[in-house]
Structure 1
Amino acid sequence: MIEIKLPDGSTLEFDRPVTVKEIASKISKSLEKNAVGAVFNGQIVDLHTPIKESGEIRILTPKDPESLEILRHSTAHILAKAVKNLYGKEKVKLGIGPATEEGFYYDFDLPETISQEDLEKIEREMERIVKEKEPFRREAISRERARELFKGDQYKLELLESIPEGEEISIYWLGEDFFDLCRGPHVENAGQVKAFKLLSTAGAYWRGDSRNKMLQRIYGTAFWKKSQLKEYLKRLEEAKKRDHRVIGKQLDLFGIYEEAGPGLVFWHPNGAVIRQEIEKWVEEEHRKRGYQRIYTPHIMKADLWKISGHYNFYRENMFFVPVVEHNEEERLGNEEVPLTCEEIEKAHWYAVKPMNCPGHILIYKSQPRSHRELPIRFFELGTVYRYEKSGSLHGLLRVRGFTQDDGHIFCRPDQLKEEIQGVMDYILELLRIFNLDYIINIGTKPEKYIGSDEAWEHATKALIDALEERGFEYNIVEGDGAFYGPKIDIAVLDAIGRKWDGPTIQVDFNLPERFDLTYVDRDGQKKRPVMVHRAIMGSIERFIGLLIEHYAGLFPTWLAPVQVVVIPVSDKFLDYAEQVYRKLKDAGVRVKLDDESAKVGYKIRKAETQKIPYMLIVGAKEMENGTVSVRSKREGELGTMTIEEFLDKIQTEIKEKR
């Protein structure tokens, strides 16, 4: 007997395997009509998925966000069929075509290169397939049958061999002449795909491995309604205007240079001002909240990372440096002499730090600790280095070298909940200052982890209790914790609703165990502290990239590299403009004087392009009255003010972080 539990707590019983569609029909005719799939025991499945065991089910309609996965996965198959139709069924080899958070993609091995212009032709073929309303049909097949069907298609055969023995193998048909190795889910027929768009092409190594062949990837998106697609495309256009790489170049904020290496950021003077202002705020906030500033080295012995577990769990993302003891006199002035095998064998291996936590642990461990000292809160603006594949690097958002506002709290178990809540208070203040919305997620134990299940349960409960006591809403993301502990991740929402990786809080019972950290408790016994890893911004590089796009380059006055530009309407008023400039500069305002011999309209347009918050325009009337004409980038014309009135206004904005 198969027992199916519904969201309202009621149950349905079946004496044989059933499909989701049959279950929906038992609930109501209207639900059967609108159903597109279901969530069964936490997994998204389509209407034709056979349900062979008892469990919990929630039927999905197009109103449910999860239903987009079904729609987009189906659209990826329609794309694959269209490409095969256009470029040759035997010539085209298929990679993978999953749904993603924003849409879908499919990877192809093709005899010719697909350009952006080709996408319209492919879209037209997809529209033809949609009009035919060809059905999706699931078929479970044997491994031998699958090998026969995919003979000559090395990518599908490789995927087939990765399916464990005994696990069901299924294909999905689209019409009578296209099939793909697939678990699903899919819609019932192609006619349900009414609103889609192909967006771009890119190269992608097979299975993400640079040693494999480069395939051609086509990205697209799909929605249930054309209005939703239209809104999404509008948002994409807005996102292009906000691209931090474009604005960063326009405002001369940062650079990444091939001569130095990919993924390594150089902050130009304008960008350095933004970073410095943020760091000043961060340091002051940490001081107020009881953190002690520390510094740790950029490289440490590889053995340290073996103790922490990073060597086993994170080695492929780390940079290693051999330190060789050699005869300095032999090598002096002869740097090109290669290392001998004997020297290499005797090398001491160091790792460039990918994390700051082991350094903070060593400082904690440097002396005996009493329960009276706890909690101890260490803070560091620590620069770390991680090997990211070249294809994944993206401006400031994915780099190889970045700085974290990294902190570690060592506390007693009875202090843990309060410390988590204290970090949450700090995070909320950050989000308020920068006018950012957010979503809270809790990541639980991943597939590969260190420590006992009991410790993981304790740590996860501490995070949940801390949030629930304060009334925070949160989502559980199964398997998304760090290898050493569960975490709270804050997804930050920018001005156009996009999600960004942001603050994180991680509870760790394991590294204190691995490094034998202790404190002397009230009873005179040595006890194990709990360690809280936390970053308020996370990566400063990524956070500034977020801010560039969030503000579209128009930073709040307190962050703007140049806060005011003084513009004389002609050279006759340059002396007065210099007086205004000097008064503002002496008051600590970041101001520049545009003394170029050009028309005032040109100067105003230039300041607009540079996204300077305020322009002070001075001419005969202003010079005579000792005033300035104020133009705000955000508010427009503000009229005439005395210099003192304007100074009071802008200094208030700066003080209040506006």
Structure 2
Amino acid sequence: MIKITFPDGSTKEYEEGVSPADIAKDISQRLYKNSIAAEVNGQLVDLNYSITQDATVKLITLEDDKAPNIYRHTMSHIMAQAVIHVFGKEKVKLAIGPVIEDGFYYDFDIEGYNISEEDFPKIEEEMKKIIDQDITIIRKEISKAQAKEIFKDQPYKLELLDDIDDDEVSVYIQGDFIDLCRGPHLPSTGYVKHFKLLSVSGAYWRGDEKNKMLQRIYGTAFAKKKDLDDYLNMLEEAKRRDHRKLGPQLNLFMLQPEMAPGMPFILPNGKIILNELMNYSRQVHKRYGYSEVETPQIMNIKLWHQSGHWDHYKENMFFTEKEDMPMAVKPMNCPGHILIYKNSFVSYKDLPIRMFEFGKVHRYERSGTLHGLFRVRAFTQDDAHIFCTKSQMEQEIIKVIELTNEIYSTFGFNYEAILSTMPDDHMGDIEAWERATQALKLALEKSQIKYKIAEGDGAFYGPKIDFHVTDSIGRKWQCTTIQLDFQMPERFEMVYANEKGEYERPVMIHRAIFGSLERFFGILIENFAGEFPTWLAPIQVSVVPVSEKFNEKAKEFARQLEKENIRTFVNDSDSTVSYKIRNEQMKKIPYMIVFGEKEMNSNTINVRTIKGNTAENISRDLFINKIKEEISSRSLNLSF
């Protein structure tokens, strides 16, 4: 007999070889019907998995937070089976079909045919048939030789098999479909019925542009129809807010893929917003005791050998050479800040040193991964490094969390924290990593921040905390990162003189709040749908004269606003009033003043807002004072 321990701590004995399905049936018929998989000693497995020794078992139902990955993985197999049915087994070569955030995809090589979204209805119809048939899904362990025979006409599967060291592999069978897969999967195809195919794109096999371009179909699935409907509505809203569309439309930024791939051009309106973000950030950082610095864009390659970037990051770097000196364009700001630290003698009395920079960095990203402002090759980091003693590091991390709270609250963002631990490809000894990880944990707990742990996702030089903000339509974005580093001070032989006059190594904290300034800008465009709060808006007030005879007085009023540092535009074009109003609304300007006879001959105005509100007979002074207060307080709400 073996002992099974359940999540509530209770135990029960079963015969060796018992399956999670047997255990569920033993507990209750209802649990048996609702279970889709199990977690055995922390590992997700199928319901028919054989448990041969004492184990901790948790049964997974469709309501469990781990269920979506299981049923979406199954749905990718259902989609692949449907594609084979629609286009023919002889023509379809299968690649891979993993789960991704909120969905799944499968890569296909279809002889002589390019899939388009027009093909989705017939693929979805075939998927519904497979789901309605409720086909039992069977997992089998077979030898690699058997697998190669089964997949002899599937070149991508054969390549995957060659990369597997084990003598046995697992396959999943559902009716006439078989696929190489670790699993786990649903017990049958009928458990989840609510799905949607979303898009199709090209994808190089294994992400390598030297390989063949495959066809990738993206989809999603949910256990409940309402959840699917809500998700599809969110996607429609996301399309409306797409920063790649709104950016050029609002004169914020442009992209030139042929001339500067992945390197955005910031246009006049966009530069105003970025300057406002930087000015605000500078004010906050000054209050928190940071000193702003600037470091070179290009530095000797030996610096990057010393920092460890050469060994761990060179594939993502750009290089150049002049006068026989090999140089690297900086992908990060930390080595430059270290050189500033080492430029002068440092006493314990000088610590902590908080060094801050809006540093432009360049990182190579594959062309297929570039995406508007979200995935670029050149961007600006609001990067800072704190050099402190070991006794100071916990309090310094707490202060960074406080700074993060202040900045995020200004934009109305909530967030969740992720603590990432030591990766396989790391520098330094395990003891230092454990000490650094514990310091981050304590800082989060003392700040009363709930967090999740991402095992092995830390940077190569230290563990980190990532903050994921939630935008106005529920999407999550990774922005702030805090990384604790004992390795760089060691590699650069950094020291400070302690109370006894002896030299010690400082601790180095890497942190960025916006992260990439351009990416944060893109997040803000989509979060506000281009309707920025007044303090950020490139034009804060638009004045629209109703005819030419009011132009001069309208400009006089605009000059009055400009003197109060309110960014103002006068639309004195020859167009009709209705056309000018419509044109100004398209610019998503917070406030509009239509300027006519009454406005010219009195001290009152009628105010229209981007939200559709109106306020009549407002005195000019009241309007100016309210707008100034709204701007200075960085309010997210309009005053009228």
Q: TM-score, normalised by structure 2?
A: 0.97
Alignment of 1:206-285 (within 5 A): 206-285=205-284
Q: 1:630 to 1:61 in 2, by over 3 A?
A: same
1:420 correspondence with 2:420: no
Q: 1:53 to 1:97 in 2, by over 3 A?
A: farther
Determine the structure 1 residue equivalent to 2:566.
Answer: 589
SS in 1 for 2:350: coil
The answer to whether the 8 Å contact 2:401/2:447 transfers is no
1:123 correspondence with 2:124: yes
Report the alpha carbon displacement of residue 40 of structure 1 after superposing the two structures with TM.
3.1
SS in 2 for 1:439: strand
For these two proteins, the number of residue pairs brought into alignment is 634
Q: 1:56 to 1:638 in 2, by over 3 A?
A: farther
SS in 2 for 1:476: strand
Matched residues in 2 for 1:513 and 1:395: separation? 38
Matched residues in 1 for 2:550 and 2:53: separation? 84
Once the two structures are superposed, what CA deviation does each residue of 1:504-545 show, in whole Å capped at 9, x if it has no partner?
A: 100011111111111111122211111000001100010000
The letter of the residue matching 1:143 is K
1:474 correspondence with 2:451: yes
Determine the structure 2 residue equivalent to 1:100.
Answer: 100
The answer to whether the 8 Å contact 1:46/1:70 transfers is no
Which of 492, 500, 506 is equivalent to 1:523?
500
The answer to whether the 8 Å contact 2:298/2:328 transfers is yes
Once the two structures are superposed, what CA deviation does each residue of 1:301-346 show, in whole Å capped at 9, x if it has no partner?
A: 11111111111111111111122x3xxxxxxxxxxxxxxxxxxxxx
Moved more, 555-564 or 463-472: 463-472
Matched residues in 2 for 1:210 and 1:41: separation? 40
SS in 2 for 1:192: coil
Once the two structures are superposed, what CA deviation does each residue of 1:79-137 show, in whole Å capped at 9, x if it has no partner?
A: 10111111111221100001111100000011111011011111111111111111111
Q: 1:61 to 1:370 in 2, by over 3 A?
A: same
SS in 2 for 1:592: strand
Matched residues in 1 for 2:24 and 2:299: separation? 59
Report the alpha carbon displacement of residue 591 of structure 1 after superposing the two structures with TM.
0.2
1:641 correspondence with 2:624: no
Runs of 5+ unmatched residues, structure 1: 326-346
Report the alpha carbon displacement of residue 572 of structure 1 after superposing the two structures with TM.
2.4
Matched residues in 2 for 1:223 and 1:155: separation? 29
Q: 1:416 to 1:141 in 2, by over 3 A?
A: same
Report the alpha carbon displacement of residue 27 of structure 1 after superposing the two structures with TM.
3.6
Determine the structure 2 residue equivalent to 1:199.
Answer: 198
Determine the structure 1 residue equivalent to 2:155.
Answer: 154
SS in 2 for 1:617: strand
Once the two structures are superposed, what CA deviation does each residue of 1:155-211 show, in whole Å capped at 9, x if it has no partner?
A: 111111222235x41000011x11000011111111112101111100000111111
Determine the structure 2 residue equivalent to 1:134.
Answer: 135
Which of 381, 389, 396 is equivalent to 2:373?
396
The answer to whether the 8 Å contact 2:468/2:477 transfers is yes
The letter of the residue matching 1:135 is T
Q: 1:249 to 1:52 in 2, by over 3 A?
A: farther
SS in 1 for 2:281: helix
Alignment of 1:105-116 (within 5 A): 105-111=105-111, 112-116=113-117
Once the two structures are superposed, what CA deviation does each residue of 1:242-268 show, in whole Å capped at 9, x if it has no partner?
A: 000101011011011134321001110
Runs of 5+ unmatched residues, structure 2: 636-640
SS in 2 for 1:489: strand
Which of 372, 387, 403 is equivalent to 1:410?
387
Report the alpha carbon displacement of residue 30 of structure 1 after superposing the two structures with TM.
2.5
Determine the structure 1 residue equivalent to 2:638.
Answer: none
The letter of the residue matching 1:97 is G
The answer to whether the 8 Å contact 2:16/2:53 transfers is no
SS in 2 for 1:211: coil
Report the alpha carbon displacement of residue 283 of structure 1 after superposing the two structures with TM.
1.1
Once the two structures are superposed, what CA deviation does each residue of 1:29-72 show, in whole Å capped at 9, x if it has no partner?
A: 32222111123333333322333454433222111221011110
SS in 2 for 1:33: helix
The answer to whether the 8 Å contact 1:355/1:384 transfers is yes
Which of 353, 356, 360 is equivalent to 1:383?
360
Report the alpha carbon displacement of residue 366 of structure 1 after superposing the two structures with TM.
1.6
Q: 1:245 to 1:566 in 2, by over 3 A?
A: same
Determine the structure 2 residue equivalent to 1:73.
Answer: 73
Q: 1:233 to 1:467 in 2, by over 3 A?
A: same
SS in 2 for 1:410: strand
SS in 1 for 2:494: coil
Report the alpha carbon displacement of residue 617 of structure 1 after superposing the two structures with TM.
1.5
Report the alpha carbon displacement of residue 151 of structure 1 after superposing the two structures with TM.
1.0
Question: How much identity, in percent, do the aligned residues show?
Answer: 51
SS in 1 for 2:391: helix
Determine the structure 2 residue equivalent to 1:656.
Answer: 633
Report the alpha carbon displacement of residue 635 of structure 1 after superposing the two structures with TM.
5.5
The answer to whether the 8 Å contact 1:567/1:594 transfers is yes
SS in 2 for 1:18: coil
Once the two structures are superposed, what CA deviation does each residue of 1:416-451 show, in whole Å capped at 9, x if it has no partner?
A: 110000000010111100111111110011121111
Alignment of 1:505-654 (within 5 A): 505-634=482-611, 636-654=613-631
Matched residues in 2 for 1:504 and 1:31: separation? 41
Q: TM-score, normalised by structure 1?
A: 0.94
Determine the structure 2 residue equivalent to 1:454.
Answer: 431
Determine the structure 1 residue equivalent to 2:317.
Answer: 318
The answer to whether the 8 Å contact 1:134/1:174 transfers is yes
Q: 1:157 to 1:372 in 2, by over 3 A?
A: same
Matched residues in 2 for 1:4 and 1:516: separation? 52
1:39 correspondence with 2:16: no
Matched residues in 1 for 2:44 and 2:407: separation? 36
Matched residues in 2 for 1:300 and 1:517: separation? 19
The answer to whether the 8 Å contact 1:404/1:538 transfers is yes
The answer to whether the 8 Å contact 2:472/2:527 transfers is yes
Matched residues in 1 for 2:487 and 2:624: separation? 53
Report the alpha carbon displacement of residue 495 of structure 1 after superposing the two structures with TM.
0.4
Matched residues in 2 for 1:43 and 1:320: separation? 43
Once the two structures are superposed, what CA deviation does each residue of 1:565-601 show, in whole Å capped at 9, x if it has no partner?
A: 0111222222221121110011111000010122222
Matched residues in 2 for 1:236 and 1:258: separation? 26
Matched residues in 2 for 1:259 and 1:101: separation? 30
Q: 1:125 to 1:414 in 2, by over 3 A?
A: same
The answer to whether the 8 Å contact 2:421/2:463 transfers is yes
Once the two structures are superposed, what CA deviation does each residue of 1:218-275 show, in whole Å capped at 9, x if it has no partner?
A: 0000001111111111110000000001010110110111343210011100000000
Matched residues in 2 for 1:148 and 1:20: separation? 31
Matched residues in 2 for 1:351 and 1:37: separation? 50
The letter of the residue matching 1:399 is V
SS in 1 for 2:566: coil
Which of 369, 374, 377 is equivalent to 2:346?
369
The answer to whether the 8 Å contact 2:605/2:617 transfers is yes
The answer to whether the 8 Å contact 1:293/1:380 transfers is yes
SS in 2 for 1:117: helix
The letter of the residue matching 1:622 is E
Alignment of 1:283-302 (within 5 A): 283-302=282-301
Matched residues in 2 for 1:613 and 1:640: separation? 18
